[in-house]
Amino acid sequence: MAGKREQNREQNRQALIGAVLDSVAEKGISETSVSEIIQRAGLSRGMIHLHFGGKDNLVQAAAHHSSEAYYDGLETLLQTAGDSPQERVEMIVRGDLSERVLNQRNVSIWYAFRGEARNRKAIAEYSDTRDGRLRGMIHNAFARIVREAGTPDASGAARDATHGTLALLEGMWTDFLLHPDRFDREEAARIVFRFLAAMFPAHFSLAGAIRPKQGKRGCNSSP
C-alpha cells in the first residue's frame, strides 16, 4: 500500500484531468471553465490550484495525458504485430482508424487542442510530440521496406511514404470529425493502402492485406 494519503491524492489528480477531457470533448475548450471542471470531478473549487497551481497547468496536463494515452494504445497494438515492416505499417494504419482510437471523444479532444495549439506553446509541444513519435515509428518501417527492396533514392522514397501516409491518416481524422455518421473505416483504410500499394507494389496489395513475399511486380493498374 502506498499510503492512503498519496493514493487519494493521485486519484483526485486523475479525476480532474478526466473531467477536463470530458468537458473538452462535450462542450469544447471555451466552455470548459473551472466551475464546469470541478462539478464534473465532484471536487471542491480549490483543488485545481492545489494540485496544478492553476487552470492553465491543469489543461496542459490533460493535453499531455490525452497524447500519452493515444500513443500508448498504438504501441500496445504494435506489440501484437509481427516483425515485418509491412505488418507494422498495416497495424498502425488499422489501429489509427480503429474504433478504439478514432472515435468521437478522441477526435473532439484532439481538434479542440489543435485549435488552441498555435497560441499555447505547451499544448503545441504535446501535439507535436505525438506526431513526432508516430512519424518515427512509420518512417522506421518504411526505411526497412525500402532497404529490402533496394529502391533507388531510398531515403527520399521512405520520406515520401511516411509523409503521405501521415497526411492521409490526418485527412481521414478530419473526415471523421466533420461527418462521424457517414464515415466508413473500411473505405478509409482502403484508400491508404491504395497509396501504399502504389509506392510499394511488392509489399502491399490493394485489398489492404499484406502481400505475401514473391517476385517483384511493377504493374498495378486499377482493379
Partner DNA sequence: CCCAAAAATGGACAAGCGTCCATCAAAATC
Partner DNA sequence: GATTTTGATGGACGCTTGTCCATTTTTGGG
Binding site for a copy of itself (CB under 8 A): 27-31, 108, 111-120, 124, 127-128, 131, 151-153, 157, 160, 163-164, 166-172, 174-175, 177-178, 187-188, 190-191, 194-195, 197-201, 216, 218-223
Minimum Å gap between C-beta 8 and a copy of itself is 32
Query: DSSP code of 155?
Result: H
Interacting partner of 36 out of DNA, a copy of itself, none (Cβ under 5 to 8 A depending on kind)? DNA
**DSSP codes, 134-197:** HHHHHHHHHHHHHHHHT-SSHHHHHHHHHHHHHHHHHHHHHHHHH-SSS--HHHHHHHHHHHHH
Minimum Å gap between C-beta 34 and DNA is 3
Minimum Å gap between C-beta 139 and a copy of itself is 14
The amino acid occupying position 184 is D
| 7 vs 103, beta carbon nearer DNA | 7
Q: List interacting residues with DNA (CB under 7 A).
A: 3-6, 8-9, 12, 32-36, 43-51, 53-56
Interacting partner of 136 out of DNA, a copy of itself, none (Cβ under 5 to 8 A depending on kind)? none
Minimum Å gap between C-beta 200 and a copy of itself is 8
Interacting partner of 79 out of a copy of itself, DNA, none (Cβ under 5 to 8 A depending on kind)? none
Minimum Å gap between C-beta 123 and a copy of itself is 11
Place of cell 509541444: 125
The residues, ordered by sequence, that sit 6+ positions from 54 with a Cβ below 8 Å of its Cβ are 48
CA distance 13 to 32: 17
User: Which of 55, 90, 92, 86 lies closest to 70 in space, CA to CA?
Assistant: 92
| 43 vs 77, beta carbon nearer DNA | 43
Write out the three cell numbers for 150: 533496394
User: Which of 100, 92, 98 lies closest to 210 in space, CA to CA?
Assistant: 92
